[in-house]
Copies of this chain bind each other. A is one copy, B any other.
């Protein structure tokens, strides 16, 4: 009763899965919170009440969290909660905070970061960092040099595999 989420492992996965086939990820904050209420339930499969969730958030974070306000968020009458409240909700429902945002921008950057993961080569990393702050002309010159060297290494068959 006091810590409703504790006994569940991998609940967030349940959430994403069930959400995919149910409402296809609602686009409003209210819709997302409501989806959480419908999907994340007590062991008895009953929905949590607003007061229950609010109390759990209070006890987990030490800060205040009113059931009324949670209802307002869920029904869309309020749609601009603070960082504090978003953290508490994400923690209770076991979802990443990014769930509450439409993260097209975040997804793009995440993809970019993934691409950067390819740059395992420490030397290449350090090279990129050094190039920061150079003039565009200088970077262009270096790029040309890379092309030349890369072609030469390819023609001589000296290119070795990475990773």
Residues of A within 8 A of B (CB): 2, 10-13, 15-16, 29, 45, 79-84, 86-87, 90-91, 94-98, 100-110, 112-119, 121, 123-143, 145-147, 149-150, 153, 158-162
Contacts and interface: CB of A to CB of B under 8 A. Distances in A.
Contacts of A162: 132-133, 135, 137-138, 141
Contact of A129 (B15, B84, B153, B160): B15
Copies, count: 2
A105 B135 CA distance: 33
B82 A131 contact: no
The dominant DSSP class at the A interface is: helix
Contacts of A153: 134-135, 138
Nearest to A101: B97
Contacts of A121: 131-132, 139
Contacts of A103: 90, 96-98
A7 B13 CA distance: 47
Nearest to A137: B162
